[in-house]
């Protein structure tokens, strides 16, 4: 009897109901935590704003009342004003200094006449009101209000008021404890609801799993009862529709091996009875792109490096072609052939082909720059594009077929590519007339190409407008 694999034996299988319960609970916990933190933050900001407003009012009142006594050297009145300010439970200190920075009024009368020593880290008072926060030696947060006193724009002293944030911290601690209690209750209720909801969701999904297993064994006649009028019900109806259609799609599976192009597969899926795409005449645009000096380059590279280079080249070609809804017809060693306008007809197939050619050239420039930075040989390509009528359809045998186009436009595109210089995009006259409003191109006149009795009008694409 074969031994089970270690990885499979050690893997823990969690039921869907448990996973859904854990997911819903986790989302609930995250939501409640975030909401609680947000509410606490808002409460803290609101309390700080209120305290700032109250402390500023007391400080400004003290500054307005202390100006005249300070000018008259009335120390008794100044100390009474300081004592009156200290009656507020949140006021940690209230100090009045003269223009030399000496204390003239202080809750501790023994400090009167001494230079004021400000806490370390606080900015020096200038000509404007200054509000700062610091932590004192008792590890208590203090909000410091400093107001300069002037008479006819002449500095005469300053008022310093310290406001304790202890009341804010006490209020926040109380709110935090209440929030934690409410959050725990909500999470417990949510866990119960999550278990019930997960079970309700999991049951029809388990039935879908059983039906899928029956489909996998070839029983396409399976039909499931629709449990509800929601997404699960829609999924069950879609499953039943899938089972009904699978018999027709089975024929397509044999056709898939004959085609590699995405558009061909889509065309087949639209018409399950149409096992082959019969040949039809239509206007198409054909693109050929070829790596220049590839033979000489491959002689200097190892086989592994050649494969890596071609893979990088093919990736660029495929991406550029598919981005413009083209069909990558075939790989030709160090060249590719792409079709636009078949099997899916696009009125702007010529423009799609030119955009693809420019994207290929830009992609090769980027790849070549990276190779140069890595100390490797640069790459260049030549590209030919031709528009014309061609027969589009399948060619091959019963066992292996491919979709392609056959016609003069294919031959012309190949000849244009072979005539193109390094990093040059050549297009036929018909292609140019279809895209001239969207590209900047340089006419090259009529050129005699191999296989054509008459000269061909060609253009070089410089850039897209």
CATH of the domain at 452: 3.30.70.1230
Asked if the structure places residue 262 within a domain, the reply is: no
Percent helix, strand, coil in the chain, to 5, is 50, 25, 25
Pair 145, 163: CB distance under 8 Å: yes
pLDDT of residue 272: 46
pLDDT of residue 11: 62
CATH of the domain at 166: 3.30.450.20
Domain identity same for 76 and 52 = yes
Q: Cα(75)–Cα(97) distance, rounded to whole angstroms?
A: 11
Domain identity same for 158 and 232 = no
Peptide bond into 148 cis (omega under 30): no
Total domains in the chain come to 3
Angle at 225 between CA 223 and CA 229, to 5 degrees: 130
- Domain span at 251: 219-256
Domain identity same for 232 and 211 = no
Q: Which of 310, 459, 461 is nearest to 379 (CA)?
A: 310
Asked if the structure places residue 362 within a domain, the reply is: yes
Domain identity same for 305 and 362 = yes
pLDDT of residue 226: 77
Domain identity same for 204 and 246 = no
* Whether this model's pTM surpasses 0.85: no
Domain identity same for 438 and 345 = yes
Structure tokens at 140: 């208590």
Pair 238, 231: CB distance under 8 Å: no
Asked if the structure places residue 25 within a domain, the reply is: yes
Domain identity same for 206 and 234 = no
Domain identity same for 239 and 290 = no
Angle at 370 between CA 364 and CA 375, to 5 degrees: 120
Q: Cα(124)–Cα(160) distance, rounded to whole angstroms?
A: 12
Domain identity same for 140 and 24 = yes
pLDDT of residue 276: 42
Pair 377, 300: CB distance under 8 Å: yes
Q: What is the DSSP string of 353-401?
A: HHHHHHHHHHHHHHHHHHHHHTT-----EEEEEEEEEEEEEEEE-SS-E
pLDDT of residue 258: 41
Asked if the structure places residue 236 within a domain, the reply is: yes
Asked if the structure places residue 261 within a domain, the reply is: no
Task: Give the end of a domain, one of 196, 229, 256.
Answer: 256
Pair 341, 347: CB distance under 8 Å: no
Residuewise pLDDT in 10s, the chain (465 residues): 445 554 444 566 666 667 777 777 788 788 888 888 888 788 778 888 888 888 888 888 988 898 888 888 888 888 899 899 888 888 889 999 998 889 889 988 888 889 988 888 888 888 889 989 888 888 888 889 999 998 888 888 999 998 888 887 787 788 778 878 887 888 788 777 777 777 777 777 777 777 788 777 777 677 777 777 777 778 778 878 877 777 666 555 554 434 345 555 565 556 544 444 567 888 999 999 999 989 888 889 999 999 999 999 999 999 999 889 888 888 888 999 999 988 878 899 999 999 999 999 999 999 999 999 999 999 999 999 999 999 988 777 766 667 788 999 999 999 999 999 999 999 999 999 999 999 999 999 988 877 777 888 999 999 998
Domain identity same for 250 and 385 = no
Q: Please give the C-alpha separations between residue 361 and each of 242, 333, 386, 411, in angstroms, as whole numbers.
A: 43, 18, 17, 21
pLDDT of residue 151: 84
Asked if the structure places residue 5 within a domain, the reply is: no
Q: Which of 360, 353, 344, 320 is nearest to 403 (CA)?
A: 344
Q: Cα(277)–Cα(157) distance, rounded to whole angstroms?
A: 96
Pair 465, 441: CB distance under 8 Å: no
Q: Is 331 left (phi over 0), alpha (psi -120 to 50) or beta?
A: beta
Pair 58, 85: CB distance under 8 Å: yes
Name the burial class of residue 379, with classes exposed (0-12), middle (13-18) and buried (19+) by CB atoms within 10 angstroms of its CB: buried
Structure tokens at 378: 């640069």
Asked if the structure places residue 7 within a domain, the reply is: no
Domain identity same for 172 and 285 = no
Asked if the structure places residue 2 within a domain, the reply is: no
Domain identity same for 250 and 194 = no
Q: Cα(115)–Cα(99) distance, rounded to whole angstroms?
A: 11
Q: Residue 382's beta-bridge partner residues? A: 290, 424
Pair 248, 272: CB distance under 8 Å: yes
């Amino acid at each position: 009897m074969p031994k089970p694999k270690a990885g499979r034996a050690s893997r823990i299988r969690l039921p869907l109901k448990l996973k859904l319960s854990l997911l819903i609970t986790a989302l609930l916990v995250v939501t409640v935590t975030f909401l609680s933190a947000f509410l606490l933050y808002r409460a803290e900001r609101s309390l700080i704003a209120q305290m700032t407003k109250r402390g500023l009012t007391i400080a400004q009142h003290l500054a307005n009342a202390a100006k005249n006594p300070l000018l008259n050297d009335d120390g008794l009145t100044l100390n009474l004003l300081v004592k009156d300010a200290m009656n507020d439970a949140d006021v940690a200190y209230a100090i009045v200094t003269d223009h030399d920075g000496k204390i003239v009024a202080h809750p501790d009368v023994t400090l009167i006449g001494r230079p004021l020593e400000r806490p370390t880290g606080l900015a020096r008072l200038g000509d404007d009101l200054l509000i700062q926060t610091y932590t004192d030696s008792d590890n208590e947060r203090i909000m410091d209000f400093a107001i300069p006193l002037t008479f006819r724009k002449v500095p005469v002293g300053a008022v310093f008021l310290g406001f304790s944030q202890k009341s804010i911290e006490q209020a926040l601690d109380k709110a935090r404890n209440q929030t934690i209690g409410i959050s725990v209750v909500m999470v417990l209720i949510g866990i119960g609801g999550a278990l019930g909801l997960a079970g309700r969701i999991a049951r029809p999904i388990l039935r879908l799993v059983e039906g899928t297993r029956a489909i996998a064994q070839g029983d396409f006649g399976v039909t499931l009862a629709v449990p509800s009028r929601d997404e699960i019900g829609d999924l069950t109806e879609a499953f039943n529709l899938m089972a009904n259609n699978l018999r027709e799609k089975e024929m397509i599976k044999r056709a898939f091996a004959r085609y590699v192009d995405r558009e061909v597969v889509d065309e087949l899926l639209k018409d399950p009875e149409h096992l082959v795409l019969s040949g039809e005449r239509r206007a198409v645009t054909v693109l050929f792109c070829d790596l220049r000096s590839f033979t000489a380059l491959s002689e200097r590279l190892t086989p592994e490096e050649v494969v890596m280079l071609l893979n990088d080249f093919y990736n660029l070609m495929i991406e550029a072609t598919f981005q413009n809804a083209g069909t990558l017809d075939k790989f030709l060693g160090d060249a590719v052939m792409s079709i636009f306008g078949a099997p899916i007809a696009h009125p702007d197939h010529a423009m799609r082909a030119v955009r693809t050619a420019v994207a290929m050239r830009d992609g090769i420039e980027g790849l070549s720059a990276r190779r140069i930075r890595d100390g490797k040989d640069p790459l260049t390509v030549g590209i030919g594009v031709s528009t014309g009528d061609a027969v589009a359809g399948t060619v091959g045998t019963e066992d292996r077929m491919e979709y392609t186009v056959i016609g003069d436009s294919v031959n012309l595109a190949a000849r244009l590519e072979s005539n193109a210089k390094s990093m040059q995009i050549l297009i036929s006259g018909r292609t140019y007339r279809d895209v001239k409003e969207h590209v900047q191109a340089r006419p090259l006149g009529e050129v005699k190409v191999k296989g054509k009795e008459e000269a061909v009008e060609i253009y070089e694409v410089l850039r897209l407008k």
